[in-house]
Amino acid sequence: MTFWTNRAVGATLGAVKIKIRYNTEKDKIDENLLPWRILIEGKERLASKVTINTKSWTTQDEIAPGVFKWHVACEGTPHWNKTDHECVINDDT
C-alpha cells in the first residue's frame, strides 16, 4: 500500500484537528458510498477505513441549528491510501 500525506489540508504543518463520523447518506441514498466522513480542519473527505494511532475522544457537535452529530475526534497527521481510500491518522509529534 502506498500512503500519502494530504498536503492540501495542511497535514504537513504538524498535527491537525480531525473529526470522524459515520456517513449516514450511505444507507439512505447509495450503499456504495464510502462509510466514513473525515473532517480535517473543516474540509471533508470520505474513507473506506480509518485507523487512529493517536489519542482520541468523542464529541457532540451542532452542525446546523438543532441538528447534532456525534464524532470521534483527534489531533494528528492524516495519511491516505489513494487506492483503498483508507485514512491512517498518526501522532507524528
Answer whether 55's CB lies under 8 Å from 38's CB: no
**What is the pTM assigned to this prediction?**
0.79
| Count of structural domains within the chain | 1
- Domain around 57: 3-90
Alpha-helical (H) ranges within the chain are 25-28
47 C-beta neighbours (distance < 10 Å), count: 21
Give mean pLDDT, residues 19-29.
Answer: 89
pLDDT tens-digit series, residues 34-88 = 999 999 988 999 999 999 999 999 999 999 999 999 999 999 999 999 899 999 9
